[in-house]
Structure 1
Amino acid sequence: MSPLHLRGPGSHEEPAELYRAMRRKHGPVAPVLLDGGIPAWLVIGYRELHQVTGDPELFSRDSELWNQWDNIPDDWPLRPVVNRGQPSILYTVGERHRRRSGLLSDALDGVDPAVLRADSEHFADELIDTFCGRGTADLIDEYAMLLPVRVLARIYGWTDEEGTALVTSMTDMINAGDRALAGQKHLHDSCQALVAQRAAEPADDVVSRMLAARGEFTEEEIVQDLMILMSAGHQPTADWIGTSLHLMLTDHRFAASMFGGRSSVPEAMNEVLWEQAPTQNMPGRYATRDTTLGGRRIDAGDLLILGLQGANSDPQVRTDGASLTGGNNAHFAFSHGEHRCPFPAQEIAEVISRTGIEVILDRLPDIDLAVPAESLRRRESPWMRGFTALPVTFTPTPALGGAHP
């Protein structure tokens, strides 16, 4: 049975249909081709993905194990997300990974929740002030894509101006297209400059806490981890905001929240994590020996792509859809196992997203789509799922103005 191209027709517009077709043809573990025709396995079975992410001895995060490196050119567009020789937490394994993960979690856990919410509200209001007077806006480019990076930049240690300048480079890197390597370099240079500055002048921010507790980890390892924190924190959070707003604008179940209420915001956000996870697929794990998974023979060194959204929609676990979306957090949107998104990072993303949604509903209560829903398009990426634009109309209102304390 021939493998399907992971980046191909339908992979970004209707991925649910693609996963169903894969499941019918191949089962819970499907052969796929990455950019350049590089083979891999896409794990779309819920139980199989739980097994892969829960067994680091058999399915390692160590990319040096990959059996395809001889076929990978230096300019391969997926190098920012599938790489080797990088001293980041993504590729660290065993006890060293556990110590490193604890360092990052502790640094993130030091963020004051009240300050985080206040910063999120301030930047949300500031962004809304730029368009509220004209009665129209694109909630992706003018709001969702800007809010997370501005909040994260502040809590990590960048100035507001430096944080805003990082949006393009991170988007280019995560989308893994022609601009991926250039985006990765700009983000690395920015992180390197901030780490050097905070090493000389510590402050009350995430980077300073990472440096203070780094132990045996080098400054370059801190730089690499900061890159992961920034890119993995920004784009998925931006897509979480944008997709949740789209759901609330187009689904009658959440209409009450569009008229001054907030009760449906958490439900809409949770449904997005189940049905339209911002991170659709994630590389990867590497088989440490020959094995079988989902009825497939997996050779030592084979790359397995984590099909997070495919697993979320596995019919074997979706016998009662309402119970899954109604506050059930057993989804794979934040991955699973020791390499999952750290819990403090999940909480930060949720505060930024929920605050951003609530503020815009409070400020613009009669907001509505400016175009037919069927005309909206998704980003062309098999990795991250989000809208390219979300044009809306509303009654023009005056800007709030005012300075942040």
Structure 2
Amino acid sequence: MSPLPLRGPGSHEEPAELYRAMRRKHGPVAPVILDGGIPAWLVIGYRELHQVTGDPDLFSRDSQLWNQWDNVPDDWPLRPVINRGQPSILYTVGERHRRRSAMLSDALDGVDPAVLRADSERFADELIDAFCARGTADLINEYAMLLPVRVLAHLYGWSDHEGLALVTSMTDMINAGDRALAGQKHLHDSCQALVAERLADPADDVVSRMIAARSDFTDEEIVQDLMVLMSAGHQPTADWIGTSLHLMLTDHRFAASMFGGRSSVSEAMNEVLWEQTPTQNMPGRYATRDTNLGGRRINAGDLLILGLQGANSDPQVRTDAASLTGGNNAHFSFSHGEHRCPFPAQEISEVIARTGIEVVLDRLPDIDLSVPATSLHRRESPWLRGLTELPVKFSPTPALGGALG
């Protein structure tokens, strides 16, 4: 049975059908081909993914173990997310990872929830002020893609101008095209400059708290972890906002929320995490020895891609779809195990996303799609699922400063 390519029209436009086809053909662990013909395994079974993420001794995060490095060119577009010897928390294992994770969690936990909410509202209002008088907008490129990075940049210590400049570089990285490596370099340089600035002049921000508690972690390790926090915090949150708004604009179940209600916002956001999670696939784990998984023979050094959305939709556990959404948070959208997204980071992402959605509903109460829903497209990325645009129309309203037009 020939492996399927991880990147392609089905992977971003209709991934649910792709995962169903993979499951029918290969079962819960499917052979896939990455860019350049590089083989890997995609774990789309819920139980199998739980096993992989919960057993770091057998399925390690140490990318040095990969048995395909000799076949990977230096300009491989997936290198920003599948790297060798990168000194970030993503590839750290064992006790050192646990200490590093605690450092990052503590630094994020120092964010004041009231300040976070106020910052999110302020930046959301500023973004809406830029287009509210027009009566039309693209809620992806004029709003969702700009809000998380502005809030996070402020929390971490960048100026607003510097934060905006990071949007393009992070998007290029995640899209994994020919600009991926250039995007990674720009993000690295920006993080390096901020860390150097905070080493000389500490402030009340996340980066300063990371530096203060870093123990024996080097400057470059702090830089790499900051890159992870920014890229993992911005793009998935932006897609969470955009996809949730799209769901609420197109699904009659959420119509009440578009006219002043709020009870459905959390339901829409949670449904997105189950059904259209922003992080569809995540690299990766590397088998430390020959083993079996989901009926497959996995060789030592094989790469296993975490199929988060595939596992979320596994029919072996999704016997009653209604009971697994709503308030059920047993999805894999934030991964699982010791390398899962830290809880403070999840909370920050949720506050930004929820606030972003609620401010739109408050400011633009008669908002509606301005194009047929069938004409919308998803970004071409093997990792994240998000809309490329979300054109809407609404009654023109004055900016909060009082100016109309």
TM over 0.5: yes
Residue type at the aligned position of 1:237: T
Retained in 1: the 8 A contact 2:140–2:242?
yes
Structure 2 residue runs without a partner (length 5+)? none
Number of the residue aligned with 2:141: 141
Residue type at the aligned position of 1:164: L
1:33 is displaced (CA, Å) by 0.2
C-alpha distance in 1, partners of 2:72/2:37?
10
C-alpha distance in 2, partners of 1:64/1:387?
34
Residue type at the aligned position of 1:71: N
Number of the residue aligned with 1:129: 129
Retained in 2: the 8 A contact 1:81–1:283?
yes
Secondary structure of the corresponding residue to residue 31 of structure 1: strand
C-alpha distance in 2, partners of 1:344/1:381?
26
Residue type at the aligned position of 1:171: T
- 1:392 maps to 2:386: no
Retained in 2: the 8 A contact 1:5–1:34?
yes
C-alpha distance in 1, partners of 2:275/2:140?
19
1:8 is displaced (CA, Å) by 1.7
Number of the residue aligned with 1:236: 236
Residue type at the aligned position of 2:170: M
Scaled by the length of structure 1, what TM-score is found?
0.99
Q: Deviations over 1:6-41 (max 9, x none)?
A: 012311000000000000000000000000000000
Retained in 2: the 8 A contact 1:126–1:401?
no
C-alpha distance in 2, partners of 1:162/1:396?
30
The 5 A counterparts of 1:80-99 are 80-99=80-99
- 1:364 maps to 2:380: no
- 1:271 maps to 2:271: yes
The 5 A counterparts of 1:282-293 are 282-293=282-293
Secondary structure of the corresponding residue to residue 166 of structure 1: helix
Residue type at the aligned position of 2:146: L
Retained in 2: the 8 A contact 1:107–1:206?
yes
Residue type at the aligned position of 2:134: R
Retained in 1: the 8 A contact 2:247–2:268?
yes
Number of the residue aligned with 2:325: 325
Q: Deviations over 1:185-211 (max 9, x none)?
A: 000000000000000000000000000
Secondary structure of the corresponding residue to residue 198 of structure 1: helix
Secondary structure of the corresponding residue to residue 32 of structure 1: strand
Secondary structure of the corresponding residue to residue 229 of structure 2: helix
Number of the residue aligned with 1:191: 191
Number of the residue aligned with 1:104: 104
The 5 A counterparts of 1:2-401 are 2-401=2-401
1:278 is displaced (CA, Å) by 0.1
Residue type at the aligned position of 2:349: A
Structure 1 residue runs without a partner (length 5+)? none
1:401 is displaced (CA, Å) by 2.9
Secondary structure of the corresponding residue to residue 351 of structure 1: helix
Secondary structure of the corresponding residue to residue 233 of structure 1: helix
C-alpha distance in 2, partners of 1:176/1:343?
27
Q: Deviations over 1:228-264 (max 9, x none)?
A: 0000000000000000000000000000000111110
1:154 is displaced (CA, Å) by 0.2
C-alpha distance in 2, partners of 1:54/1:76?
29
C-alpha distance in 1, partners of 2:345/2:51?
23
C-alpha distance in 2, partners of 1:85/1:330?
32
Secondary structure of the corresponding residue to residue 377 of structure 1: coil
Residue type at the aligned position of 1:363: R
Retained in 1: the 8 A contact 2:54–2:338?
yes
1:323 is displaced (CA, Å) by 1.1
C-alpha distance in 2, partners of 1:246/1:105?
31
C-alpha distance in 1, partners of 2:81/2:317?
29
C-alpha distance in 2, partners of 1:250/1:74?
43
Q: How many residues align?
A: 402
C-alpha distance in 1, partners of 2:328/2:11?
26
Secondary structure of the corresponding residue to residue 181 of structure 2: helix
C-alpha distance in 2, partners of 1:114/1:196?
28
C-alpha distance in 1, partners of 2:144/2:110?
25
Q: Deviations over 1:162-217 (max 9, x none)?
A: 00110000000111111100000000000000000000000000000000000000
Q: Deviations over 1:121-144 (max 9, x none)?
A: 000000000000010000000000
Secondary structure of the corresponding residue to residue 11 of structure 2: coil
Retained in 1: the 8 A contact 2:174–2:381?
no
Secondary structure of the corresponding residue to residue 217 of structure 1: coil
Secondary structure of the corresponding residue to residue 40 of structure 1: strand
C-alpha distance in 2, partners of 1:305/1:239?
20
C-alpha distance in 2, partners of 1:400/1:392?
20
C-alpha distance in 1, partners of 2:372/2:140?
16
Residue type at the aligned position of 1:128: I
Residue type at the aligned position of 1:344: P
Scaled by the length of structure 2, what TM-score is found?
0.99
Secondary structure of the corresponding residue to residue 285 of structure 1: strand
C-alpha distance in 2, partners of 1:13/1:309?
13
